[in-house]
Amino acid sequence: MVIKGTPGASTAVVLSLDRSRATLRWAYIGDSAFAVLRGGRIVHRSAEQQRRFNCPYQLNSDDDGDSLAKAEVGGMPVKDGDVVVAGTDGLFDNVHDDQLARAVQMGTELGFSPKNMADIIAGVAYDVSKTKTERASSPFSIGYRKAYGGNYYGGKEEDITVIVAAPQETGVPPVYPYALLELAYKKAVASAAPRASTAVILPLAGKALKWPYIGDSGFPVLQGGRIARRSKPQRHGFTEAPPTRTATTSPGRTWGRRARGPATLWWSPYGNLGVRCPVSVVIGAM
């Protein structure tokens, strides 16, 4: 609700999910936009509404803006695994569609939650918006050169809002492995324990096994008596400590800290080289 007389104008995009029919519905006006991604590709992208370049349709509180009748209204079926990204022009003026698709595909493969993905995508848009070199050819700079000519490069500094949603089948709770790892890390930091650790988390989502891990804590998946999948150790070098923690501390940036030498090499009585370290084994059967 906007109080009459409040100065200003705005574009708008509204999305709703009809779960009973697995249908995404929308109404939007201006250049706030959204994209629906499936299998790492954009299957639907809203079209900007503009009178001319950088002059979008807008609503304002004094009834002298554009009419609601100009809003684009529609819908499409969605399914489990789809990702919906909505944002202001601060996102879509600075991030190309193929960049958005790569970010979503990466986040999906790594088990990022919608919040993680939104932070990363917003971080990318923000970094581009602050760049004014020829190396950063944003959608806005391309549009500017087409409309006015000149040598405008880089992004456009403006408000950036990003929302990511992932429709799920009813009765199947979403599982975001990276978010679980991030939560474990934050709890470890809060405990102020003066130690470092590798980690592996294996959540089961329906019939799908997902994982985040860091370092050389690992896992194999066996089918019919044979290893069907084996995690790869993450190490800085042999006998050196692997990466020991990870967390997203600001949009689009992953920070880590390395610790060296937690393992002690020793010779067994039988002449075999081993490593003296804690041993933990967990076995699960599905």
Count up the domains in the chain and report the number. 2
Same-domain check for residues 161 and 185:
no
In this structure, is residue 3 part of a structural domain?
A: no
Among the candidates 165, 200, 234, a domain finishes at: 165
Same-domain check for residues 145 and 21:
yes
Q: Say yes or no to pLDDT of 257 above 70.
A: no
Q: Say yes or no to pLDDT of 245 above 50.
A: no
Looking at residue 268, what is its pLDDT?
Answer: 37
Q: Compute CA distances 148 → 49, 57, 94, 153, whole Å.
A: 19, 20, 18, 13
Same-domain check for residues 88 and 113:
yes
Condensed to tens digits (0 to 9), the pLDDT of residues 18-60 reads 988 899 999 999 999 999 999 999 999 999 999 999 999 999 8
Neighbour tally for 273: CB within 10 Å: 8
Q: Which domain holds residue 110?
A: 9-165
In this structure, is residue 283 part of a structural domain?
A: no
Same-domain check for residues 157 and 182:
no
Same-domain check for residues 145 and 238:
no
In this structure, is residue 110 part of a structural domain?
A: yes
Looking at residue 123, what is its pLDDT?
Answer: 95
Q: Say yes or no to pLDDT of 112 above 50.
A: yes
Looking at residue 192, what is its pLDDT?
Answer: 82
Same-domain check for residues 98 and 213:
no
Better-scored residue on pLDDT, 238 or 55: 55
* Rounded average pLDDT over 96-101: 96
Condensed to tens digits (0 to 9), the pLDDT of residues 141-181 reads 999 999 999 889 999 999 999 999 998 876 666 777 788 88
In this structure, is residue 286 part of a structural domain?
A: no
Among the candidates 139, 165, 191, a domain finishes at: 165
Looking at residue 159, what is its pLDDT?
Answer: 94
